[in-house]
Amino acid sequence: MGLLPCANVTILFQALLIIFFSCFCLPACTAIDTITLAQPIKDPNAIISNSEAFKLGFFRPANTNNRYVGIWYNKISVMTVVWVANRDKPLNDSSGTVAISKDGNLVVLDGREKIIWSSDVSNSVSNSSAQLLDTGDLVLRDNSNGSIIWDSFQHPSDSFLKRMRISNNANTGERIRLTSWKSPSDPSIGSFSAGLTDINLPEFFIWNGSLPYWRSGPWNGQKFIGIPGMDSIYARGLNLIDDREGIVSISFNPENESTYYILNSEGTLGRRYWIDGIEDWGIRFPAPRTECDVYGKCGPFGSCNPQDSPICTCLRGFEPKDIEEWNNRNFTSGCLRRTPLRCERNSNSSEVGKEDGFLKLKMMKLPDFAELSTAMEDECKSQCSKNCSCIAYAYYMGIGCMLWTESLIDVQKLSMDGVDLYIRMAYTELDKKKNMNLIISVTVIIGSLTAAICTYYLKRWIVKRRGCSNESMLWDNVDQVKLEELPLYKFEKLAIATDNFHLENKLGQGGFGPVYRVMLVHQ
């Protein structure tokens, strides 16, 4: 055996290299994306999706020694966990395993082979495997026919990823919602959840426990109308589908890859997007954004405006239910109607006043519990006014005619976008502004008249007594208020206008005598 030729050395070296990598590197270097019965993964190993976008493995949140099985973005430099398996049952060491159990379920086992988490599919499957897809979805398949028997997108944690779907099925009670972490170092189920409602018009909600914490307003086909500034860019990728038979779902399909929604442990839902230059996540449109966004901040019939101080006011025609509480900035009790509606008075059949009307409030976040009517835009008002239990209406293109009964809650004055809301109001309340103007003008007229007459007589009196021409200079100036310039009405005309000074037209009694409300047409 002499010296090997150069080429042969190279070939031998390459062969050795291949053997070396096969022996020591294969499990870690080859990106496998599937867990099978024969191929479980043991901490600290992981599986990586085909295009390497997502990774499933074991992780430890900051400030804790607990370990969890989760899915995170693989190509992003900041560890960003989007799904956790054993949220409520952490591993306390690095002896965990993710495996397929004999009944076909995906399970997490601790160091003593005890199941601490399971996909909990009840129908046993003899041969199944779990694959991490490039979407970040972990799917468990029945290998006999390839059907998906469980997947992580149907059981989300706090993240709403691209191509995911959040849904609500009123018929089966099945719902897919986000649930917050308890804290940034504890993925166990926190108090906040987010998803769609199925009552009346579908909306997106955040709940704190079982209480609503924030709502988006209804969907108009393109966006949620209760989120000011939710333009097409923000809404892009979101699509709500309502089959009007109890199933509503919202999907998210943005153009950009690295963007998703997260419901954080403080209850804020926001859209995160990766900023390459900064190497960190940015957040857009967090909700709730202002104090006013917190559900029902100002109570029933209250309206919130973040630019006001205090932020809460009663809707026009309403007054605080408990003025002391209200002044102490506790707005939860809300407001009450000041003047009963004619509808209500009628039911007591005492007096019959003028027809109720509607007060228009511009650019509002519409109240919760809207009922959709089939009425067209021009019939919406009459639809509401002919039914005594209807207390407000609004019409919005893409949604239709919305009616409210009972209460108006979670109303906000928006500085952009928003909808015109029409509130049913007693005639006298509706007319109060007009009345005020009349009272002022009638008072001014009578006041000026009296002043002019007094001046006239005073002047005559002075001239008569002193005969002083110097002083009359002063009075000449006063004389500029000429009687002719004031509107004078014939007594008959006023008598007709006030229905012979009928009590119904009397507004009150002032220092100059009774004040009547009149409508006069100038000729």
Q: Which positions touch ligand NAG (CB under 6 A)?
A: 92-93, 110, 127, 142-145, 147, 191, 208-209, 233, 236, 254-256, 259, 267, 273, 325, 330, 332-333, 340, 344-345, 348, 371, 387, 389-390, 405
Instruction: Using the minimum distance from each CB to ligand NAG, give the nearer residue, 357 or 418.
Output: 357
Classify residue 509 by burial, with Cβ atoms within 10 Å: 0-12, 13-18, 19+: exposed
Decide if 81 contacts 264 (C-beta within 8 A). no
Q: Give, in degrees to the nearest 5, the angle at Cα 454 between 448 and 459.
A: 125
Determine contact, residues 462/476, Cβ cutoff 8 Å. Answer: no
**Cis ω before 288 (30° cut-off from 0):** yes
35/518 with CB nearer ligand NAG: 35
How far is 393 from 379, CA to CA, in rounded Å?
11
Of 273 and 475, which has the nearer Cβ to ligand NAG?
273
Residue 83 CB, nearest approach to ligand NAG (Å): 22
Helix (H, G, I), strand (E, B) or coil at 515: strand
CB 240 within 8 A of CB 399: no
CB of 140 to ligand NAG, least distance (A): 13
With beta carbons less than 8 A apart as the criterion, state whether 275 and 194 touch.
Answer: no
- Cα separation, 445 vs 166, whole angstroms: 66
Per DSSP, the residues of 88-137 read TS-BSSS--EEEE-TTS-EEEE-TTS-EEEE---SS--SSEEEEE-TTS-
Number of helices (H) and strands (E) in the chain: give both, helices first.
9, 36
Q: CB 166 → ligand NAG: shortest distance, Å?
A: 19
Residue recorded with tokens 């239910």? 321
Residue 38 vs 521, nearer CB to ligand NAG: 38
What are the strands, taking DSSP E only, across 378-483?
Answer: 392-396, 400-404, 411-413, 419-425
* Beta carbons of 24 and 80 less than 8 angstroms apart: no
For 83, 228, 336, the CA distances from 313, given in Å and listed in that order, are 42, 20, 12
Write the burial class of residue 477 (CB in 10 Å: 0-12 exposed, 13-18 middle, 19+ buried). Answer: exposed
CB of 79 to ligand NAG, least distance (A): 20
| First CA to last CA distance, the chain | 130
Asked if residues 56 and 175 have their Cβ atoms less than 8 Å apart, the reply is: no
Given the complex with ligand NAG, which of 258 and 443 has the nearer CB atom?
258
Closer to ligand NAG by CB, 204 or 393: give it. Answer: 393
* Nearest residue (CB) to ligand NAG, 145 versus 469: 145
When the beta carbons of 57 and 320 are compared against ligand NAG, the nearer one is 320
Q: What's the residue count for the chain? A: 523
CB of 383 vs ligand NAG, minimal distance in Å: 9
Phi, psi dihedrals of residue 357, rounded to the nearest 5°:
-130, -170
Cβ nearer to ligand NAG, comparing 159 with 498: 159
Complex with ligand NAG: residue 265 or 498, whichever CB lies closer: 265
The least distance separating ligand NAG from the CB of residue 325, rounded to whole angstroms, comes to 5
Minimum Å distance from CB 143 to ligand NAG? 3
- The token duo for 325 is 């509480």
CB of 38 to ligand NAG, least distance (A): 8
Q: Which is nearer to ligand NAG, 8 or 387 (CB)?
A: 387
Query: Least separation, in Å, of the C-beta of 257 and ligand NAG?
Result: 9
Instruction: Decide: helix, strand or coil at residue 214.
Output: strand
- Nearest approach in angstroms of CB 211 to ligand NAG is 7
Least distance between ligand NAG and beta carbon 341 (Å): 8
SS3 439: helix
Q: Which is nearer to ligand NAG, 162 or 365 (CB)?
A: 162
Is residue 427 a contact partner of residue 343, using CB atoms and an 8 Å limit?
no
| Tokens matching residue 317 | 């025609």
> Could you tell me whether strands 411-413 and 302-304 are parallel, antiparallel, or unpaired per DSSP bridges?
parallel
Residue 246 beta carbon to ligand NAG: minimum distance, rounded to whole angstroms: 19
Smallest separation (angstroms) from ligand NAG to the CB of 258 = 8
CB of 45 or CB of 200, closer to ligand NAG: 200
